[in-house]
Amino acid sequence: MTAAASSDAGRESGDGPGSGRLIRRLSLLDSISLVVGTIVGTGVLLKAAVMTQLLGSPWAVLAAWLAAGILTLFGALSYAELGAMIPEPGGEYVFLRAAFGDAVAFLYGWVRFTAGSASMAALGVSFATFVTPLVPLGGDWVRTSGTLFGAPVHWTFGAPQLVAIVPIAVLAGINCAGVRAGGKVQVALATIKVLAVLGIVAGAFAAARGGSWSHFAQHAPGGAITASAFGAALVGAVWAYSGWSYLPMAAGEIRNPGRNVPRGLIGGTAIVIVLYLAINAAYFYALPAAAVAAANSTVHRGAPAVAALAVGSFLASDATTLAALVFVIATLGTLNGGLLSNSRVLFAMARTRQFFPIFGRVTRRSHAPGWAICAFAAWGSVLATSGTYDQLSDLAVFGFMIFFALTTAAVFRLRATQPDRPRPYRVTGYPLVPLLYVLGTTWMIGNTVATEPVQALAALVFLALGVPVYAWFRAQRTRADAASTGGTPPAPVR
């Protein structure tokens, strides 16, 4: 940690309710539930459709899910070392600041807040998608289409967009009540989601009407197994796994973090890999590949979700209402975990004087960073009206991947620069495991630029906008330091 970082850390230390300090109230069960409950959500209920459109082959889609799962586990192993070594609020922001300095850390936090809020927005959009079978929302009030850099862009606004905002606002309120409330909600929602996934798997294999292993030999029209298509499918699967990185963000509120952060990350990720392979196999057993490809996506906006189609294959038609309710709960679990974790990044940025001080405030009664939670919820609500689920999720995951790779590279950097720092957990398979993660993620970034240039460009624009913002905050901090030391500015921070 730099001298400036140490100084800032000293400013934010303190005890008691008046200090604005976060309290360690999350147990190992809470930690595992945060990983499982945040990961298992809309991605696995929707992304099989677009992945099948890309690849055509059920076996290729399953291979993409497995490859993304292994890559995610490699990332989780790397983050486990960092989270156990630096168990502070903010996760990746803290790790990047310790390894590469203020500028890289700020840009990560900026992307997490701007483009990263798109993940909250995508979850809100999927909530509206799953609510429609329960309460028909009607058509769009405004619809427009066009092109951007040669790629088609669609924008609609209506009741679904308004409904997408509701869960974001409600869960923000719950998390403002404190991490204990958010943790209890997460355990309950994670349990329901795991049981729901297991129920879909069991029902599809045991009772799907027309279910057959021959579906795995079929090929959806239009798909092709190419390197670029596989890479694009991997991005979709990585989005579905993306919540694994949220746990270290809340490390400042986890009991015994040296033990529970690694156990929560590794155990939770392993559970999710098994669940994802099982439910996607169930989709293809219950449905022909062409039916999976025709499920809800940007191409087929009005179609039911692939998970709903799978449930409809073994339940009576009126029972699909129950399935829709389960999908809504799954969405809420991921959204709750995202709000709980992401808000801690803004909190950490404010506490190190790289963002507005108000976001570093903790409520006296609940010890929750309420302003940071509300900021994420507000921007996510705006983005929820701006695109489809696939557009928003692709925007979010591209920005994430850049910093996933950099954060994993921080394992190498910190081992070189801080070799004597206590590490309660060390990456299994070092240096191969983190190296493979960095290489695999870098390849996906390059492939996304080639296959989805609009989403990549949008994420890069968000990143570039952070450069002048960082310069402004750095100038503000330099002036404040000069004033506090009688006009002599401190040594520059790298």
Block mean pLDDT (10 aa), the chain, length 494: 39 39 76 82 81 94 94 91 88 93 93 78 80 72 62 64 86 79 74 86 93 94 88 84 79 82 89 94 95 83 81 75 76 80 87 90 80 88 72 69 92 95 92 94 85 78 89 90 67 47
pTM recorded for the entire structure:
0.77
> What per-residue confidence (pLDDT) applies to 14?
35
Joined together, the tokens standing for residue 409 give 């590279």
> What per-residue confidence (pLDDT) applies to 224?
87
Determine the topology of domain 20-484 in CATH.
Answer: Amino acid/polyamine transporter I (1.20.1740)
C-beta separation of 298 from 50 below 8 A: yes
Joined together, the tokens standing for residue 407 give 């954060």
C-beta separation of 125 from 164 below 8 A: yes
Q: Which of 413, 459, 492 is nearest to 112 (CA)?
A: 459
> pLDDT tens for residues 89-138?
888 899 999 999 999 999 999 988 887 677 778 778 878 877 877 777 66
Specify the residue for token string 């870098």: 442
Residue partners of 485: CB distance under 8 A and separation at least 6: none
Domain layout of the chain by residue ranges: 20-484
Please state, in angstroms and rounded to a whole number, the distance separating the CA atoms of residues 346 and 351: 9
Residue environment code for 177-198, b if the CB has 16+ CB neighbours within 10 A, otherwise e = ebbbbbbebbbebbebbbebbe
How large is the angle between the packed helices 58-85 and 257-286, nearest 10 degrees?
170
> What per-residue confidence (pLDDT) applies to 182?
66
Query: Cα–chain-centroid distance for residue 330?
Result: 14
